[in-house]
Amino acid sequence: MKIIMLGAPGAGKGTQAERISKKYGIPHISTGDIFRANIKAGTELGIKAKAYIDKGLLVPDDVTVDLVMDRISQEDCKNGYILDGFPRTIPQAESLTRALKARGTSIDHAVDVDVPDESIIARMSGRRACLTCGATYHTVYAKPAKEGICDKCGASLVLREDDKPETVKQRLLVYHEQTKPLIDYYRKENVLCTVDGTQDMEKVFLDITKTLGCLLYTSPS
C-alpha cells in the first residue's frame, strides 16, 4: 500500500504516519526528517536544504524529487510506504505520478489531516523534536517520560528553529500557496480522504484506519 500524508505543518502527519507505518509494516518516509538528518551530518544536501528550511521556504523541487525517487526505489519499499511531507508542490506530485506510472503503479490513498491555521501556531510551539532519531513529542499532548529527553534514544529534545512562531507563519503561507492545491489534485485522482485533525491523536488514527478500509485494524494500544 502506498500512502501520502497531506496537511499543514503541524497537522499531525508525522504522528499518524508513524502509527500507520507500525500497523501496516511499511516504511515511514519523512522528507523533513531526511533533510534534518543531513543538516545534522553536515552533508552537501543538508547545507543546501538548511538555507531554505530556516526561512520557512520549500527546498527546490529537483533536489527533493531526486531524493524521494531514490528512497522509494530501495528494497524495503517494495510492499509500499507512507510519504510524510512529500509531495508538497504540484510539480512534485506530477513527478511522483509519472514515476509510479512508469512502474505500472499509483498512489492508493492520500490522507489529508485537516487542522485550521488558528490551531497550528499554538500546537507548534509545544512540539519538541529529537534530532537524533526523528521522534516527535508535545509539551502537553505527547509528553516524554522524562522532560526534555527522548524516550526512544535518550537524546535531548529541542524546539525546532523553524517551529518558532514567525517561521511557522511563513510556512503556513507557503502551505496555502503551494501545498494545499494537492488536495484537489488527489481528489481528482480519486484517492483523497480527509480526517478531522483537531481531534485527539487516537481518534484521528481511528478515523484514518477506517477510511483506509483497514481489515487489519485492532484497537489502538
Active site residues: 13, 88, 127, 160, 171
Closer to ligand ADP by CB, 2 or 13: give it: 13
15 binds ligand ADP (CB under 6 A): yes
> How crowded is the C-beta side of 124, counted as CA atoms within 13 Å?
24
Strand runs (DSSP E) across the chain, as ranges?
2-6, 28-30, 81-84, 109-114, 127-129, 136-138, 192-196
Grid cell 526512544 in the structure block, residue: 152
Among the residue ranges 31-39, 74-82, 101-109, 208-216, the one whose residues contact ligand ADP (CB under 6 A): 31-39
Among the residue ranges 69-77, 130-138, 182-190, 213-221, the one whose residues contact ligand ADP (CB under 6 A): 130-138
Closer to ligand ADP by CB, 53 or 212: give it: 53
Candidates 164, 168, 135; CA nearest to 150 is: 135
**DSSP code of 199?**
S
Instruction: Please report how close the Cβ of residue 196 comes to ligand ADP at its closest, in angstroms.
Output: 9
Pick from 4, 59, 111, 130: which binds Zn ion (CB under 5 A)?
Answer: 130
Question: Which of positions 71-100 make contact with ligand ADP (CB under 6 A)?
Answer: 85-86, 88, 92
Closer to Zn ion by CB, 111 or 157: give it: 157
158 binds Zn ion (CB under 5 A): no
What is the dihedral sign for C-alpha 203, 204, 205, 207? Answer: positive
Residue 151: phi and psi, rounded to 5, are -60, -35
Residue pair 29/134 in contact (Cβ under 8 Å)? The answer is no
Closer to Zn ion by CB, 155 or 201: give it: 155
Question: Which of positions 140-199 make contact with ligand ADP (CB under 6 A)?
Answer: 141-142, 162, 171, 197
Give Cα 115 to chain centroid, integer Å: 14
Residues of this chain that bind Zn ion (CB under 5 A): 130, 132-133, 135, 150, 152-153, 155
